[in-house]
Amino acid sequence: MTIKVPHVAKSSESRAAAFIAGASNSCDPGGKTTVNMRFDAALLARVDGAARRQGISRTAWLHVAAAQALEEEPR
Protein backbone atom coordinates (compact mmCIF):
# COMPACT_ATOMS: atom_id res chain seq x y z
CA MET A 1 0.00 0.00 0.00
CA THR A 2 1.38 3.41 -0.96
CA ILE A 3 0.26 6.59 0.73
CA LYS A 4 0.41 9.62 -1.55
CA VAL A 5 0.61 13.06 0.04
CA PRO A 6 1.42 15.60 -2.67
CA HIS A 7 2.70 18.36 -0.38
CA VAL A 8 5.22 16.15 1.47
CA ALA A 9 8.85 16.18 0.39
CA LYS A 10 10.05 13.07 -1.47
CA SER A 11 12.46 12.10 1.30
CA SER A 12 9.61 12.15 3.84
CA GLU A 13 7.50 10.00 1.53
CA SER A 14 10.23 7.43 1.14
CA ARG A 15 10.92 7.32 4.88
CA ALA A 16 7.24 6.92 5.65
CA ALA A 17 6.84 4.23 2.97
CA ALA A 18 9.84 2.33 4.35
CA PHE A 19 8.41 2.54 7.85
CA ILE A 20 5.01 1.29 6.71
CA ALA A 21 6.58 -1.52 4.67
CA GLY A 22 8.57 -2.66 7.69
CA ALA A 23 5.59 -2.56 10.02
CA SER A 24 4.46 -6.02 8.98
CA ASN A 25 7.87 -7.37 10.03
CA SER A 26 7.51 -6.01 13.55
CA CYS A 27 9.32 -7.68 16.44
CA ASP A 28 5.99 -7.71 18.28
CA PRO A 29 3.66 -10.10 16.45
CA GLY A 30 0.83 -9.01 18.77
CA GLY A 31 0.57 -5.55 17.20
CA LYS A 32 1.04 -2.10 18.63
CA THR A 33 1.27 -1.10 22.27
CA THR A 34 0.12 2.19 23.77
CA VAL A 35 2.70 4.02 25.88
CA ASN A 36 2.60 7.23 27.91
CA MET A 37 5.64 9.49 27.73
CA ARG A 38 6.61 12.88 29.13
CA PHE A 39 8.34 15.45 26.92
CA ASP A 40 9.82 18.85 27.55
CA ALA A 41 7.24 21.30 26.14
CA ALA A 42 9.77 22.98 23.83
CA LEU A 43 10.94 19.64 22.42
CA LEU A 44 7.37 18.49 21.85
CA ALA A 45 6.61 21.74 20.01
CA ARG A 46 9.59 21.06 17.72
CA VAL A 47 8.39 17.49 17.12
CA ASP A 48 4.90 18.75 16.29
CA GLY A 49 6.33 21.35 13.90
CA ALA A 50 8.47 18.77 12.11
CA ALA A 51 5.51 16.38 11.82
CA ARG A 52 3.26 19.14 10.51
CA ARG A 53 5.84 20.18 7.88
CA GLN A 54 6.09 16.56 6.70
CA GLY A 55 2.31 16.16 6.68
CA ILE A 56 2.29 13.26 9.15
CA SER A 57 1.04 12.75 12.69
CA ARG A 58 3.16 13.21 15.79
CA THR A 59 3.03 9.45 16.37
CA ALA A 60 4.18 8.67 12.82
CA TRP A 61 7.01 11.20 13.15
CA LEU A 62 8.16 9.62 16.43
CA HIS A 63 8.00 6.13 14.86
CA VAL A 64 10.15 7.24 11.92
CA ALA A 65 12.62 9.10 14.18
CA ALA A 66 12.97 6.10 16.52
CA ALA A 67 13.43 3.68 13.60
CA GLN A 68 16.10 5.94 12.06
CA ALA A 69 17.93 6.26 15.39
CA LEU A 70 17.92 2.50 15.83
CA GLU A 71 19.21 1.93 12.29
CA GLU A 72 22.15 4.23 13.01
CA GLU A 73 22.95 2.48 16.30
CA PRO A 74 25.59 -0.26 16.15
CA ARG A 75 24.14 -3.66 16.99
CA distances from 59 to 71, 74, 75 (A): 18, 25, 25
Instruction: Provide long-range contacts, Cβ within 8 A and 24+ apart, for 29-36.
Output: none
pLDDT, residue 61, reads 97
- The set of residues, in sequence order, having a beta carbon less than 8 Å from that of 63 and lying 6+ positions away, is 19
What secondary structure does DSSP assign to 23-62, as a single string?
HTT-S-TT----------HHHHHHHHHHHHHHT--HHHHH
Per-residue tens of pLDDT for the chain, all 75 residues: 455 555 545 576 777 777 777 665 555 566 889 999 999 999 999 999 999 999 999 999 999 999 999 999 888
